[in-house]
Amino acid sequence: MSKRLKNKIAIITGASKGIGKGIARVFAQEGAKLLLVARNEKDLLNTAKELQQYSADINIFSADISSNNDMKKMAAICFGKYGRIDILCQNAGIFPSRRITDMDETDWDHVHNTNLKGTFFSIKACLPVMQQQHYGRIVLISSITGPRVGNPGLAHYGASKAGMNGFMKTAALEFAEHNITINAVEPGNILTEGMAGLGEKYIHAQEQAIPLKKLGLPEDIGYATAFLASDEARYITGQSIIVDGGQILPEW
């Protein structure tokens, strides 16, 4: 790899599994120093151990992105350890399936508190450091579901992901004067632990619907994220890249 992120200090939320782990692997290969964040400490430790072959500088922090206090601690720990926060990748998110007829306020709040409020809290916590250093790259892991397409059972999720994209556009305007960019990656169907929870039938149906005839891999999102986090993307802000194997293209 080209070491595009050499010595950059990056926080990755939801880094213990799936897409977040794929992003962490690509970032480590590109030379970044990492703070991996998720709730389950054991999973984080296992991931950090796995990634040590790519980078010796990997730390973990167990936190819930829906907790403002946890996010403040996350930023403080990163700053305390490295004196900088160059990159925040806000990837942690949940996608429980429930049709609107069966959905209640608790279901709605659970998804929004994690995906959307967690986005706000994590960014807000890292912002003072990024402003002070006059540098920052924020990458949100959004989704095609919500911003581009619908999916029965995922109305609350789609609303949260469309909300992330909406948040991003104004954030890009507010952060630009501080040399902080914010962009998003919109994954299609990526083979992760979370996706496996949706079942074989769902996965097979998706494979049939995708022009490239396969689900994406976590690293596919990692490569797009690494680009947006790198200095090669320094003049891009408020934009999103769809990484979906062509899934949303067909007219039929």
Pick between residue 29 and residue 192 the one whose CB is nearest to ligand NAP: 192
Q: Among 11, 25, 26, 66, indicate the residue that binds ligand NAP (CB under 6 A).
A: 66
Task: Rank residues 193 and 231 by Cβ distance to ligand NAP and give the closer one.
Answer: 193
Catalytic residue numbers, as ranges: 157
Q: Which residue has the tokens 């911003």?
A: 147
Residue 130, C-beta contacts closer than 8 angstroms, at least 6 positions apart = 85, 88, 136, 138, 175, 178, 180
Select from 12, 88, 89, 141 the one that contacts ligand NAP (CB under 6 A).
141
Q: Which of residues 21-60 bind ligand NAP (CB under 6 A)?
A: 38-40, 43
For residue 181, what are the β-bridge partners?
Answer: 137
Interface segment toward ligand NAP; rule CB under 6 A; list 15-23, 102-110, 148-156, 166-174: 15-23
Does residue 217 bind ligand NAP (CB under 6 A)?
A: no
Residue 186 and residue 244 in contact, taking contact as beta carbons nearer than 8 Å? yes
Which sign does the torsion angle of CA 150, 154, 158, 159 carry? positive
- Contact segment (CB under 6 A) with ligand NAP among 9-17, 53-61, 169-177, 235-243 equals 9-17
**Distance of CA 250 to CAs 183, 207, 240, Å?**
25, 14, 20
Site string for ligand NAP, 184-213 (x = CB under 6 A): ---x-xx-xxxx------------------
Tokens of 187: 């994954």
Residues that bind ligand NAP (CB under 6 A): 13-14, 16-20, 38-40, 43, 64-66, 91-95, 114, 141, 143, 187, 189-190, 192-195
